[in-house]
Amino acid sequence: MGSGKSTVGPILANVLGASFLDLDVEIAAMAGRRIAQLFDEEGEAAFRARERQALEATASRSDVVVATGGGALVQPGAMAWAKRHGTVVYLRVPTAALAARLAHARAVRPLMLDPDGQRLDADAIEAKVQTMLDVRGPIYETAHVVVEPDARGVGYTVDAVARALRLLGDVA
């Protein structure tokens, strides 16, 4: 959440000559509702079930870069499944940078809302991000490729991911 997957992904797909799929966009399109509405109306567990179904549907596609939601690969067995069916890249962003991005994001992030549906303040966002990374980080770190986004810009990050994929032999 907030690492830059939806920004890096389409550019990386273009560089690799692949198509791009944002799993959250796919889920929202299939449901006919925004992600925030799904969380609100169905709850997180139901959203995660939709997310897992959408993730597994990607196995039938080839030459595709998939941006998953931040929690998609932390569901039981999801990371192992993804690693069997593709190459997983983790964009590792420090907690403070993630929190700053999320605090200034225009999009509503259901996990960054308080129980009354109001946006968390900056300190609460940072605490929530840290708590989430404490759980998710060890799973993310098992990705095939771990890249820290380059502060010089998205192009540098895309280049770093493409180089890492080439070293793995996953792209020409």
What is the residue whose two structure tokens read 């920004």?
7
Which residues have a Cβ under 8 Å from the Cβ of 60 and sit 6 or more positions away?
none
- Tens-digit pLDDT profile for residues 74-117: 999 999 999 999 999 999 998 888 888 887 777 767 777 778 77
Give SS3 for 70. coil
From CA 107, how far away is CA 112, in angstroms rounded? 10
Higher-confidence position of 163 and 150: 163
Count: domains in the chain: 1
Cα R_g (the chain), whole angstroms: 16
Residue 170 has a pLDDT of 66
From CA 80, how far away is CA 117, in angstroms rounded? 33
Residue 101 has a pLDDT of 80
Amino acid at 21: L
What is the domain extent for residue 47?
Answer: 5-168
Q: Are 83 and 168 in contact (CB under 8 A)?
A: no
Q: Report, as an integer, the average pLDDT of 111-126.
A: 80
CATH number of the domain residue 84 falls in = 3.40.50.300
Whole-structure pTM value: 0.86
